[in-house]
Structure 1
Amino acid sequence: MATGLFSHPDCNLHDMGDWHPECPGRLQAIEDQLIASRIEPLLVHEEAPMVDEAELLRVHRAEHVEFIRALAPDAGYAEIDADTRMNPYSWRAAMRAAGAAVAATDAVLDGRYDNAFCSVRPPGHHAEPGRAMGFCLFNNVAIAARHALEARGLSRVAIIDFDVHHGNGTEVAFAGDERVLMCSFFQHPFYPYSGGEPLASNMVNVPLAARTNGATMREAVELMWIPALEAFRPEMIFVSAGFDAHREDDLGGLGLVEADYEWLTAQICAIAKRYAKGRVVSCLEGGYNLSALGRSVASHLKVLTEA
């Protein structure tokens, strides 16, 4: 089998302004680096479908979905908060991003791929059941995880989040749900100023101080994530793959490099092989230095294609 790469041209049309770091060039930077690193031929490309709205409602309140739909402008921009805007294409892009996560989940569970990566935008992990924020409209990973549990009959799934920002939306969606174990690290204190105290016992939160390097991160993962994942024995692993903890990314203050993302992915794949038949679905979250983003995703996918 192979690694699936799910994306769609609609994801490039979402735009929040020339000044905004969450820009269409992110996906092109990833594609360019995958070609340059000779990983692209090892991937099977699939176009992401539009998500069924019933899938959105597994995580998001109906009024939130209607708010996002109604807010989409016919021209120009509509502002959600100081960081988050919509243009006329944002609704379709968000529906494709969530659709990619669900389609990738089905493809991996059906045995078409060993694992999959969703190269999509807008990202998702800050989106709470009733609120869009932090560049995020719908929570792609949460929607996919809930699909695996409620539509595909899995009993236990793990969510790994290694973005520099805490995945507050995912934590709110699953706090107290014993079917889900969420393991994350993030810079703290830092936007969105949450996660320092976990909301429930199924959250393994690892706050890291600014300028934390890869060696310290690895030690924390080995001490806190791995034992929890071993005890939980997930049947599938979802990854909120943010690459803004890279030392070259100005939107964060951590000190990771490509080798750290390669190591992290290897740990995730090892747990997946042991308990989840190798099943991993990874979705792009942050990463705003275009060169560092492309290199880091290539490192991530290198391990996935070899798993």
Structure 2
Amino acid sequence: MLIQENYRMHPNENHPENLHRVELIEKEFPNAKVIGINLKEAEKLVLSIHPPPHLNSIRTHPLTDFGDNPFFESTYEAALGAVFTSVKAMEHLDFAAVRPPGHHASEEKFEGFCYFNNIAVAVKNSNKRTAIIDIDAHYGNGTHEIFADSENVFYSSIHANIAYEYPGYEIKTKNSYLIDVEPRATDDSAYLEFLNDLLKKVREFRPEMIAVSAGFDTYYKDPVLGFAIEKIETYREIGKMIKELGLPTFAVLEGGYSQELGKLVKAFYEGCFPK
């Protein structure tokens, strides 16, 4: 387990996406490796996906403490730290506990709690044929748009029906497989059936690497969305099913806002990254 050292620099106390999320994970992983940031290297990595004006818009944005994407004095540095730690997770085939999350950020737009697309930068810098498995409750529109024309990246997702859940739309591309579901009708067994279907498509793509956008807002107690998944052990099974693909795998934290987040991540981790 890799923990981003500077995640507290984007405090966001009055927002669901706050510093306590990673604190909950830290409590479950007392021996996790803490990843410090090399600012210049992180900026160089971000530029592999986002153009300079996007970086500048975040670095110079007026300070605000409201809306989906608030800005604090060190939000820019925290977002860079999330990217840097995500790339380290790719290099070490591990889980990156980072914030702010990234899968809604497109090349030139920040939205949905996201500033830079952490997993997209990591995948881009892997130089491997990669399948992204997005298990967040929301569709990762930014990630999908970034790789829409790529022959070497497959984007797959199980997410809430976009007719009434953020971001409210989805695109269709050749190298993608999207399953949108009714959240409250998707319980533990239904979710695992959907995942089994999705993993068949992943295998057909014949990737060299698996990248997991690991959101945990599918848990039934999640205050932002929540499916009908009630068992923490289901997340262990999700991790195990991905592990059984038998491919190099890394994961990056996306959403998940319940007080059980640490336990959900631990269950997934033990399934996907067994010792």
- Specify if TM > 0.5: yes
Aligned counterpart for 2:102 among listed residues 124, 148, 164: 124
Partner Cα distance (1:95, 1:301) in 2: 24
1:211-266 alpha-carbon deviations (Å, 9 max, x no partner): 0112111112222x122111112111111111011001021131123222111111
Which residue number in structure 2 is paired with residue 215 of structure 1? 189
Aligned counterpart for 2:8 among listed residues 9, 12, 20: 12
1:99-147 alpha-carbon deviations (Å, 9 max, x no partner): 01112222x3xxxxxx301111100001010100011000000000001
Q: CA deviation at 1:176?
A: 2.6
Partner Cα distance (1:301, 1:221) in 2: 17
Partner Cα distance (2:266, 2:220) in 1: 16
Quick one: which amino acid aligns to residue 12 of structure 1?
R
Contact 2:161 2:183 in 1 (8 A): yes
Contact 2:94 2:250 in 1 (8 A): yes
- Runs ≥4 in structure 1, deviation > 3 angstroms? none
Contact 1:6 1:48 in 2 (8 A): no
Which residue number in structure 2 is paired with residue 199 of structure 1? 172
Which residue number in structure 2 is paired with residue 78 of structure 1? 64
Q: Where does 1:1-307 land on structure 2 (aligned, <5 Å)?
A: 5-16=1-12, 18-34=13-29, 40-41=30-31, 43=32, 45-50=33-38, 51-71=41-61, 77-78=63-64, 82-106=67-91, 108=92, 115-149=93-127, 154=128, 156-189=129-162, 190-195=165-170, 198-211=171-184, 212-223=186-197, 225-256=198-229, 257-271=231-245, 273=246, 276=247, 279-290=248-259, 292-306=260-274
Partner Cα distance (2:264, 2:48) in 1: 31
Contact 1:84 1:136 in 2 (8 A): yes
Q: CA deviation at 1:294?
A: 1.2
Secondary structure of the corresponding residue to residue 306 of structure 1: coil
Secondary structure of the corresponding residue to residue 183 of structure 2: coil
Q: Matched residue pairs, number?
A: 269
Q: CA deviation at 1:194?
A: 2.1
Could you tell me which runs of 5 or more consecutive residues in structure 2 were left unpaired when the two chains were aligned.
none
Partner Cα distance (1:105, 1:49) in 2: 15
Contact 2:90 2:126 in 1 (8 A): yes
Quick one: which amino acid aligns to residue 256 of structure 2?
G
Partner Cα distance (1:78, 1:61) in 2: 23
Contact 1:187 1:253 in 2 (8 A): no
Q: CA deviation at 1:24?
A: 0.7
Give the share of equivalent positions with the same residue, in percent: 31
Quick one: which amino acid aligns to residue 203 of structure 1?
S
Quick one: which amino acid aligns to residue 177 of structure 1?
S
Partner Cα distance (1:188, 1:304) in 2: 26
TM-score (norm 1): 0.83
TM-score (norm 2): 0.92
Could you tell me which runs of 5 or more consecutive residues in structure 1 were left unpaired when the two chains were aligned.
35-39, 109-114
Partner Cα distance (2:241, 2:37) in 1: 30
Contact 2:86 2:96 in 1 (8 A): yes
- The change in CA–CA distance for 1:15 and 1:46 in structure 2 (over 3 A counts) is closer
What is the root-mean-square deviation in Å for CA atoms of aligned residues?
1.7
Secondary structure of the corresponding residue to residue 242 of structure 2: helix
Partner Cα distance (1:53, 1:132) in 2: 16
